[in-house]
Amino acid sequence: MVRVGILGAAGYTGGELIRVLLGHPEAEIVFAHSESNAGNLVSDVHEGLVGDCGLRFSLNLPFDQVDVVFFCFGHGKSAQFLSEHEIPSNVKIIDLAQDFRISGEHDFVYGLPETHRSTIRGCQRLANPGCFATAIQLALLPALKADIISGDIHVNGITGSTGAGQKPGATTHFSWRNDNISVYKTFTHQHLLEINQTVQELRPGYEGRVLFIPQRGCFTRGIFVTAYAKCDMPLEQVKQIYEDYYEDAAFTHFVMKSPDMKQVVNTNKALVYVEKYEDQLLMISCIDNLLKGAVGQAVQNMNLMFGLDECEGLRLKASAF
């Protein structure tokens, strides 16, 4: 049994992580930390867990009682926490923020299973990929690996409101978000750093730019990405490359019909599809931003790090209607 501690447990990712782990047969939640909610029932904050969870938020940090700690902090707080607290070297860390995703002076492994499965299995500290970064990379990986696209890669992605976190803001307020759509962080989104890192890893010296336009959608969960780039290979050969690349992937599925986002919401699945328009290759992917884009992928990585079945606790099904 993997003993789990959760930091920042009162936010969307913390609540979703608790929900997933409650159904994980090989995991036990030892503590869920929240300074602002210490002593309160978890189900008083994450009300969907009423009747399923008697756990209370803790102010204590009993790291000596756990095997792994999940950081569900806002961006920038993970590095600060590690500078102020000592976590035993035998305790694994899975960070869901962006603090350690870019290679540098740290020992965190970038945790995209579709590219780093073997490295993840042996790591002690893991940086979980961003939600947009996951969806965009899954659309591009086979094409980059096989060297079949060139030039600028144009990407459009739309995300649900939970991607902005639980803290209310001007662009998350219901009356603003509902029946609305807007663009933000055009060509400058922070996830471009890790996307470009992977591009250079798979295709060193690739000169094309990833031109990304993120959009806020008027729905709660999910990410839908469309990307296109120049490709001279016939479509049937491209499809075979994609099918072969994802043949052994636990949750990423190459499909022959353009997918709908509803097919992946509330699951850890990613669906990927391609189509050709003259010399342009259209690449589509969709995920649930809180699951495959965050918590689900984090649990998938935990399973790999502890030698468990990669799918354990994540056999979630979409309603699709």
- Residue-level pLDDT at 74: 87
What is d(CA 160, CA 229) in angstroms, rounded to the nearest whole number?
25
Query: Is there a single domain that holds both residue 144 and residue 93?
Result: no
- Residue-level pLDDT at 75: 84
- Residue-level pLDDT at 166: 56
User: 10 Å Cβ neighbour count for 48?
Assistant: 12
Is there a domain that residue 314 lies in? Answer: no
Is there a domain that residue 311 lies in? Answer: no
Query: Is there a single domain that holds both residue 229 and residue 123?
Result: no
CATH for 115: 3.40.50.720
- Residue-level pLDDT at 178: 86
- Catalytic member of 131, 218, 286, 311: 131
Query: Is there a single domain that holds both residue 71 and residue 175?
Result: no
What is d(CA 128, CA 88) in angstroms, rounded to the nearest whole number?
20
What is d(CA 198, CA 308) in angstroms, rounded to the nearest whole number?
26
- Residue-level pLDDT at 105: 85
Pairing of strands 280-287, 270-277: antiparallel
Contact predicate 178/219, CB 8 Å: no
Query: Is there a single domain that holds both residue 79 and residue 165?
Result: no
CATH for 232: 3.30.360.10
In total, how many domains does the chain have?
2
Query: Is there a single domain that holds both residue 153 and residue 112?
Result: no
Query: Is there a single domain that holds both residue 246 and residue 227?
Result: yes
- Residue-level pLDDT at 161: 87
- Residue-level pLDDT at 73: 92
Task: Give the end-to-end CA distance of the chain in Å, rounded to a whole number.
Answer: 36
Query: Is there a single domain that holds both residue 177 and residue 106?
Result: no
What is d(CA 274, CA 239) in angstroms, rounded to the nearest whole number?
7
Residue labelled with tokens 């468990």: 308
Is there a domain that residue 316 lies in? Answer: no
Reference 306, options 76, 18, 61, 28; nearest CA is 28
DSSP-derived secondary structure letter, 69: E
What is d(CA 116, CA 175) in angstroms, rounded to the nearest whole number?
41
Q: What are the pLDDT tens digits along the chain (321 aa)?
A: 999 999 999 999 999 999 999 999 999 999 999 988 999 999 999 999 999 999 999 999 999 999 999 999 988 899 999 999 999 999 999 999 999 999 998 999 999 999 999 999 999 999 999 999 999 999 999 999 999 999 999 999 999 988 655 556 666 666 677 899 999 999 999 999 999 999 999 999 999 999 999 999 999 999 999 999 999 999 999 999 999 999 999 999 999 999 999 999 999 999 999 999 999 999 999 999 999 999 999 999 999 999 999 999 999 999 877
Is there a domain that residue 317 lies in? Answer: no
Structural domain that includes position 58:
2-128+294-305
Is there a domain that residue 231 lies in? Answer: yes
- Residue-level pLDDT at 175: 66
Is there a domain that residue 112 lies in? Answer: yes
Query: Is there a single domain that holds both residue 160 and residue 260?
Result: yes
**123 classed as catalytic:** no
Is there a domain that residue 312 lies in? Answer: no
